[in-house]
Amino acid sequence: MPYLRIYIHLVWRTKNHRQVFTSPESRQMIWAHMRENAKEKGIFVDVISGYTDHCHCLISLGTDQTIQKVVQLLKGESSHWINKNEEMKQFIGNQKFEWQDEYFAVSVSESIVGKVREYINNQETHHKKKTFQEEYDEFITKYKFSQTYDGDREFG
């Protein structure tokens, strides 16, 4: 049996940057649901959090998982659940919910996993001082991404 520990920090936004998760209760509900769904699908979610219009997730890939497939499973099922869940509708209204197609993914060294966990867990506090766009711009600079993602699709 192979042993594998590959941490990935994932970030994705709501479609059209829609401020959907405006209450702490709505955020707690969606993150808890996504964690449970991931567990059922064999996806190891170390930590998950976010703010009104985006999600941060620290995962460890399994031996047969790809980043693309994990993101697809997390985003796709959660969109479906949000649109069908009556309790979530009280927070988001009757407008159809969607995640943006694009996402950000970067590997995380074992030596800084604790810092990344803390960063993800403190999204509420973090975004009282910094907008998502400022955070995005920092990621682009820090990880030396170009302003386009996948060659022709913009992330932000």
User: The domain containing residue 103 runs over which residues?
Assistant: 7-142
**pLDDT confidence band for 13 (50 / 70 / 90):** very high
Give domain status of residue 22, yes or no: yes
The reported pLDDT for the residue numbered 115 is 97
Please report the pLDDT score of residue 126 as a whole number.
86
Of the candidates 82, 11, 14, the residue with the CA atom closest to the CA atom of residue 53: 14
pLDDT in tens, 91-147: 888 889 999 999 999 999 999 999 999 999 999 898 888 888 888 888 888 888 865
Any domain includes 149: no
Establish if 103 belongs to a structural domain.
Answer: yes
CB 105 within 8 A of CB 70: no
Q: Is residue 154 part of a domain?
A: no
User: Do residues 25 and 9 touch, judged by C-beta distance below 8 A?
Assistant: no
In a domain, 96, yes or no: yes
Report if residue 30 sits inside a domain: yes
DSSP state of 49: E
Residue-wise pLDDT for 134-155, tens only, equals 888 888 888 888 655 444 444 4
> Does 147 map to a domain?
no
For residue 137, what is the domain's CATH number? Answer: 3.30.70.1290
Given a cut of 60, is residue 43 above it in pLDDT?
A: yes
Q: What pTM value is reported for the model?
A: 0.88
- Does a structural domain hold residue 31? yes
Q: Tell me what pLDDT residue 18 has.
A: 93
Look at residue 152 in the predicted model and tell me its pLDDT: 45
pLDDT, the chain, mean: 90
- In this structure, what token pair is assigned to residue 110? 């074992």
Total tally of structural domains belonging to the chain: 1
Q: How many CB atoms lie within 10 A of CB 53?
A: 19
Backbone dihedral angles phi then psi of residue 7, each to the nearest 5 degrees: -85, 135
Exposure of 121 in the CB half-sphere (CA atoms within 13 A): 9
Q: Is the pLDDT of residue 65 over 80?
A: yes
